[in-house]
Amino acid sequence: MSLSDFTERNCFGSLDTLNISHNLIQIVERNAFIGLVRLRNLDLTYNNIYLIEPFALFTGTSSQIMWADFSHNNLTKIDVTIGFLGSSYCSLSFSNNYIAKFTNKLQFQLPANINSVGYLDLSYNNIQYIPDAKVFGLSSVLDFGLFLFTKHTFQFHNNPLVCDCNVVDFVKTAFIALRRYLNGAIDYGLRCQFPQNMRDIAFNESILNDRTLDRFICNYMSCPI
């Protein structure tokens, strides 16, 4: 028998680990783990999950979750309250999904004094573009770069990234963050996949040299004056 939802949880209050992988669950509701006050480890791999509601993991008593794995599901988008904004965790994986978009349905604002968040795995998805900083409740690419590279350790390899002009600003701010806070370069798996002549070029300082900059895709909404 396979589970298609997770609603009967009254008798699970003392659980430390919950493994409901290889089932037929499609939606993780916001109150899915309310009451599981000791839950630390969560495995929802190999289900049919296409939606995780905002704050489903990190709200109320469920904020004690430290390890959660949602890999090998059917997610096409992820809300920023799941993994980016909210409580700290050790490891959170969304690898091997179809994620192409980030949302902020509740217009959540980043807390001023947020602590380091955790290791976030977004590898093997369909992310093509660097997200808009405003989706994360931030005002600029600089703020987004500093937040992403100083509060997270993340893995991003095997995504079909398009190297457009936004990548230039993102890499610049990323290395400001790395120099200021981390004192070194880290490979997060960020690599161009498009255009073809930039395939597999890593997001590092060499991407900012003049010869490479000439190869970026820059689309204008109107003709420059």
Span 97-123, pLDDT tens digits: 999 999 988 888 776 666 667 888 999
Residue 212 CA to residue 203 CA, distance in Å, equals 11
Q: Which residues of the chain carry a pLDDT beneath 70?
A: 1-11, 59-63, 85-87, 111-116, 141-142, 145, 149-151, 173-188, 204-225
Looking at residue 172, the DSSP 8-state letter turns out to be H
Half-sphere exposure of 14 (CA within 13 A, CB side): 1
Residue 46 — left, alpha, or beta (φ > 0 → left; ψ -120 to 50 → alpha)?
Answer: left
Angle at 168 between CA 219 and CA 217, to 5 degrees: 30
CA torsion sign for 127, 122, 39, 7 is positive
Instruction: For residue 83, count other CB atoms closer than 10 A to its CB.
Output: 26
Residue 54 CA to residue 94 CA, distance in Å, equals 15
